[in-house]
Amino acid sequence: MRIIGTGAVLAIALAQPAWADIGRIKLASGAASIERDGKLLPLKPGFVIETGDTLVTGARGKAGATFIDNTRLSAGPGTRMTFRSFDYNDTTQKGRFVSFLKKGVVAIISGRIARNDPQAMRVETPKNIYVIRRARVVLNVK
Amino acid sequence: MMRRTALGWLAAPLLLAGCAMSQVALGPGENGDAGSVAVLNAAGTELAVVDKAGAVASVSGGSASIKAMDSAAFDAKYADLLAGLPTPPRTFVLYFKENSVEPTEDSQALLAEIFAEIKKRAGADLEITGHTDTVGPEEVNDAFSLRRAAEITSYLFSQGLDKTIVRIGGRGERELREQTPDETSSAINRRVEVIVR
């Protein structure tokens, strides 16, 4: 077997810091931010989302994000959604994605986590829980 | 102005609590299959399963009610929100010359397209995932597919790819492009997929 080249080792090493990523903001407009450690961080395309972050949009704000398992999300105005836990294995493409939609409205197109395990993608709300199994949904919490 | 009775005031907090509700609408699937959503109460007990495109489940006061909606109405009703969804990820497949980590000529031509796709997308990120054929043990192939991905990553870095937007992985022989029995050499399965998100 071929021995791994130094270039490849370097590539792996350099790719490591980005692995805290669970997803990235692709679009944001109006008042839209991520709340992290009590601070509100303004959003722009490319913003890196981490586990524990809360996406917050104002009365005219909206934001779109793609997660590393290809889950896609669009948040409408007046939304507050926390990405509580996100585990993902790049080799098996299985994991678990739990978020909490406190209020507002989001569209979600599920990704690999939901595709590879029908129990693994959950959106909790103050009153109940949704388990998303390979679907395109709109969730609304008033 | 309406006068509120004592009973009215007492009932008000109950009505407010009753107002707290959530709703799920299931859209038509991207490839015809709508999939499904399970609706659970806060304790985790299943209240309903929504599996018809267009169906809407409303949850309040611990129970779920489902009503059917025309699936075309879903797209119209949520047009703004759906328009805010990011562009679907695009996958580029690179093949290799035999016994080499060098991409084939056809695959090299794709590299310019990959860079063009990154430019088109605001806040783009990349997943570079290696795959093997079914020759050899699974654990060896897991490691080998990752090396293959790393070689391409290293090459793309040398061509100016932003190092902060890349995630690499190896899928081994889990995701064959051409279905083959075990221990079968396949040039189609020996590949790296570059997914631009």
Cα gap B168→B162, rounded to integer Å? 13
- Over the stretch A41-52, which tens digit does the pLDDT of each residue have? 999 999 999 999
Would you say residue A18 has pLDDT above 70? Answer: no
Residues from chain B contacting residue A110 (CB–CB below 8 Å):
35
Name the DSSP letter for residue B96: B
Give the CB-side neighbour count of residue A44, counting CA atoms within 13 A.
Answer: 0
- CATH 3.40.47.10 fits domain B90-196: no
| pLDDT tier at B8, thresholds 50, 70, 90 | very low
Buried b (16+ CB within 10 A) or exposed e, B41-59: eeeeeebbebeebbbbbbb
Every domain of chain B and the residues it spans? 6-83, 90-196
Q: With an 8 Å Cβ cutoff, are B86 and A62 in contact?
A: no
What does the pLDDT read at residue B144?
87
Q: With an 8 Å Cβ cutoff, are A64 and B36 in contact?
A: no
What does the pLDDT read at residue B100?
62
| B87, two tokens | 């562009």
What does the pLDDT read at residue A117?
97
What does the pLDDT read at residue A81?
98
Cα gap A58→A61, rounded to integer Å? 5
Q: How many residue pairs bridge chain A and chain B with CB atoms within 8 Å of each other?
A: 211
Cα gap A109→B21, rounded to integer Å? 22
Every domain of chain A and the residues it spans? 20-141
| pLDDT tier at A4, thresholds 50, 70, 90 | very low
Best of A62, A99, A128, A138 to mutate (most B CBs within 10 Å, chain B): A128
Burial of A81 (0-12, 13-18, 19+ CB in 10 A): buried
Burial of A72 (0-12, 13-18, 19+ CB in 10 A): buried
| B80, two tokens | 């703004």
